[in-house]
Structure 1
Amino acid sequence: MTPVRREPLAEQAAAALLDRIRAGEWALGARLPGETTLAPQLGVGRSTIREAVSQLAGRGVLTSRQGAGVFVTALDVTDDWDQVLRRADITAVVEARIAIEVEASSLAATRRTPAELRALRRAVEHRAGRRATVEEHVDADTALHRAIVSAAHNPILTELFDGFTPRSRQAMVELLRIGGAYGSDADQDVHARIVDAIADRDAATAAARTRDHLGTLTARLGTTA
């Protein structure tokens, strides 16, 4: 069996698994082999297999059942309809992020401590250096936004953000894959300017810049339709 060699590995692994499903290797309702079996077959790590399974689960081909394994729920995907569903889900995620993070930015500007401001500056710098993969970039971006929410000193907003993070992460990874570009200097500057407003204790500007930034994510979906 030909191992997966090209980047991005998770997408290649997902495509390889889908090809095997289409070829009839696993029937509808069948249980896939475990990560320790699939990983060496495809020449990737177990974490890559998990990400590939997650991608196919998002496309309705696989489903994970806790304690039971991963099962085939469809033998193929309809790409056009799948893209519509993914864009709708991502739009809903961005709208929820706006509801949480715009208010958090405003509160952070009035409540942040000097230590929290230093943490925000470090998070901005960390984000600037994490552009190698979509997943790495999204994780660094999430860490920055989480630091902003934390600086708001509102435990409900923090709980909402933390509970929402897994779904938000998946949606942001999908969005950047659909768009085909991420981590630009302009995008990095937007985040630095949000932190600058928080540093200046300018609540209105911090909220406005956060809303504008998140609004551009929705706009990107329209340009890739």
Structure 2
Amino acid sequence: MPLATTRRTGLVDQVIGQLRDAIAQGEWPLGQRIPTEAALAESLGVGRNTVREAVRALAHSGLLEVRQGDGTYVRATSEVSGAIRRLCGSELREVLGVRRALEVEAARLAATVRTDEELTAITELLDRRDAAYRVEDIETYVHADTEFHLAVVRAAHNDLLTELYRGILEAVTASVAATTDTHLPESEAIGHRGLLEAIAARDAERAMAEAAGFLDSLIREA
């Protein structure tokens, strides 16, 4: 674990920063247990109390989850994601509601300001998504579906909107996986061809309706 030895001043803040960086850079993947308090203290050259305070702070911000008697696990990869997870919990309906709030506006903006290159990328992702489903490659399907929605958000050209959406990306992926078995990509409720066509035609009203339509359907059945 490539963590640098800390200086003596501001030890807790330094440890928080280094643990946060390790999580963001994938040293410990989402859902993985991090090293023990003692191991971290030795690696960082600080006391266990310092590590304990840093872990407590990161657990409060949602990045880590302390499980009594089991260890500490990576719960999110950013503070934004952690905050959204705390708000949404594991309730599918709540995750879908947050998605609706962001994706409908993203669809409107994307239909207005998207570039030809972005439209091509969105189209390719949707093609990949549907092709994966046809060959029952659910893992690729879920990943491509998530990337499709992220590409639409990026095409909105609103940096804050994109950052907020990236913050809930793990929850988005989980919601796609949770609704894949009973909602086929070719079905009227979940298909995204209408959304793609609206963005291509620069029809903002239709894009909003398409984005809201499939999410409202999922919310009703969640």
Residues 89 and 171 of structure 1 are in contact (CA less than 8 Å); yes or no, is this contact kept in structure 2? no
Q: CA deviation at 1:88?
A: 6.6
- CA change 1:189–1:214 in 2 (3 A) is closer
Gaps (5+ residues) in structure 2? 1-28, 38-65, 71-87
CA contact (8 A) 1:111 1:151 kept: yes
- Residues 48-70 of structure 1: CA deviation (Å, up to 9, x unaligned): xx99xx6xxxxxxxxx5422499
Which of these residues, 60, 67, 81, is aligned with residue 35 of structure 2? Answer: 67
For 2:184, the aligned partner's letter is G
Shift of 1:87: 9.9
Residue 171 (structure 1) aligned with residue 171 (structure 2): no
Tell whether the 8 Å contact from 1:90 to 1:175 is kept in structure 2 after alignment.
Answer: no
Higher helix share: 1
Say whether the 8 Å CA contact 2:125–2:144 is kept in structure 1. Answer: yes
| Separation of aligned partners in 1, 2:95 and 2:196 | 22
* Cα distance change on mapping 1:205 and 1:161 into 2, 3 Å: same
CA distance in structure 2 between the partners assigned to 1:215 and 1:110 by the alignment? 23
- Alignment match of 2:109 (pick from 107, 110, 113): 107
Change beyond 3 A, Cα 1:111–1:65: same
RMSD, aligned CA: 2.9
Are the aligned partners of 1:109 and 1:200 in contact in 2 as well (CA < 8 Å)? yes
1:200 is aligned to 2:204: no
User: Matches of 2:130 and 2:189 in 1, distance apart?
Assistant: 6
Q: Distance in 1 between matches of 2:139 and 2:166?
A: 17
Mark the CA change 1:139 to 1:187 in structure 2 (over 3 Å): closer, same or farther.
Answer: farther
Q: What do residues 182-218 of structure 1 show as CA deviations (whole Å, max 9, x unaligned)?
A: 4342259730110100111110110011001111111
Residues paired across the two proteins, number: 147
1:1-225 matches, within 5 Å, as 65-68=33-36, 89-131=91-133, 132-176=136-180, 180-186=181-187, 190-221=191-222
Amino acid at match of 1:116: E
CA contact (8 A) 1:109 1:201 kept: yes
Consecutive aligned runs of 4 or more in structure 1 exceeding 3 Å deviation: 68-74
Deviation string for 1:2-31 (max 9, x for gaps)? xxxxxxxxxxxxxxxxxxxxxxxxxxxxxx
Q: TM-score, normalised by structure 2?
A: 0.58
The CA distance in 2 between the partners of 1:124 and 1:188, in whole Å, is 15
Query: Does the 8 Å CA contact 1:134/1:182 hold for their aligned counterparts?
Result: no
Please tell me the residue identity of whatever aligns with 1:126: R
Answer whether contact 1:98 1:211 (CA < 8 A) is retained: yes
